[in-house]
Amino acid sequence: MLDKLNIVKQRFDEVSDLIIQPDIIADQKRYVQLNKEYKDLKKLMDKRDLYVRLQDRIAEAEEILADGSDAEMVEMAKLQLDESREALPPLEEEIKLLLIPKDPEDAKDVVMEIRAGTGGDEASIFAGDLFRMYTKYCESKGWRTNVIDLSEGTSGGFKEIHFEVSGEDVYGTLKFEAGVHRVQRVPQTETQGRVHTSAATVMVLPEAEDFDVQIDPKDVRIDYFCSSGPGGQSVNTTYSAVRLTHIPTGLVAQCQDEKSQHKNKDKAFKVLRSRLYDMELAKKQEEDAAKRNSQVSSGDRSAKIRTYNYPQGRVTDHRIGLTLYDLQNIINGDIQRILDELMLVENTEKLKEASEIL
């Protein structure tokens, strides 16, 4: 393992030298890429340093035990040897995970879309609950959220809402949330006290950069219209809202969140790029899933992934059979435990795939 880590160290030293070069700093795209690589390699180098220290401690302890002339030193060496050997296996597992090449998509920001599904008004209310859950979770992570477009439900919540999330490794974390979410509870409009099942669909699109997706302006029809909903005096008076239609694919993206037509157009193009990028990514994920038979990231965007059962205070993630009786905290944004379990399953699969290499 140390041989592999030493190869990585050569690249780390190379990147460390490159990011201080004036020509690299002047090239923002290249600088950002190298800076990200530096941060990822630095985590691995910190683990390498710890690994080397443990190996040195083991060698030192074995040397003292082999000599055996000082009883007190021998006792201390035994303790040191036991502690170091105990710490080594979990550290090796961490290093194995870090040695697996990271998915370049994981570092991207995302555009999330939540749409009310079956269940009428209750589905819209649930979509609003999910939006609140995600914004609270993002807030706890120090990530920024920004609403792009929304359509409010008649009894609260949203028929659909689109918003950006930006921060560190956002897609790598939130990609597990894509799919159909179900809620089982007594709706506010139910007079008989019967439990209904409603649903909402969540999409998580990695935010595409200009150089990820090239859009020919001739392929896009642009429509301008008046904004609707809350927003002050400019609502319904100026054509600031923008709708883009990508003619070859039929994909539509719109934004009416900003008062400026120009800003809405920029945001709409950002969503359109992300949707086109996601189409290609979905094909790749389906191919990968066919090879891996993954239960977590299958590429099936219509799969039922999670149920929120209010009468029992239960949340069940159907992909990994995880059930937690902590619905109130989860719906208030405490979803990290679920994400950790999903990441663990995915990482275990990656380790199996990489076991021959490592």
pLDDT in tens, 302-352: 679 999 999 999 999 999 999 999 999 999 999 999 999 998 888 888 777
pLDDT at position 234 is 42
* Helices and strands: H and E segment counts in the chain: 9, 11
In 3D space, the residue among 234, 106, 241 whose CA is nearest the CA of residue 170 turns out to be 106
Q: Say yes or no to pLDDT of 212 above 90.
A: no
pLDDT in tens, 29-60: 788 878 888 988 998 999 999 999 999 999 99
Split at pLDDT 50, 70, 90, the class of 275 is: confident
Tell me the domains of the chain and their CATH numbers: 2-99 (no CATH), 104-349 (3.30.70.1660)
Contact 227, 236 (CB under 8 A): yes
Residue matched to tokens 């630095």: 42
Q: Say yes or no to pLDDT of 292 above 50.
A: no
Q: Say yes or no to pLDDT of 358 above 60.
A: no
State how far the Cα of 32 lies from the Cα of 25, in Å rounded to an integer: 9
pLDDT at position 132 is 98
Contact 117, 199 (CB under 8 A): yes
Q: Say yes or no to pLDDT of 177 above 50.
A: yes
When comparing pLDDT for 233 and 104, which is higher? 104
The first and second tokens of residue 208, run together, are 């595409």
Mapped onto helix, strand or coil, the DSSP state of residue 235 is: coil
When comparing pLDDT for 286 and 206, which is higher? 206
Q: Could you tell me the CA-to-CA distances from 202 to 60, 124, 166, 254, 348 in Å, in that order?
A: 55, 13, 17, 18, 25
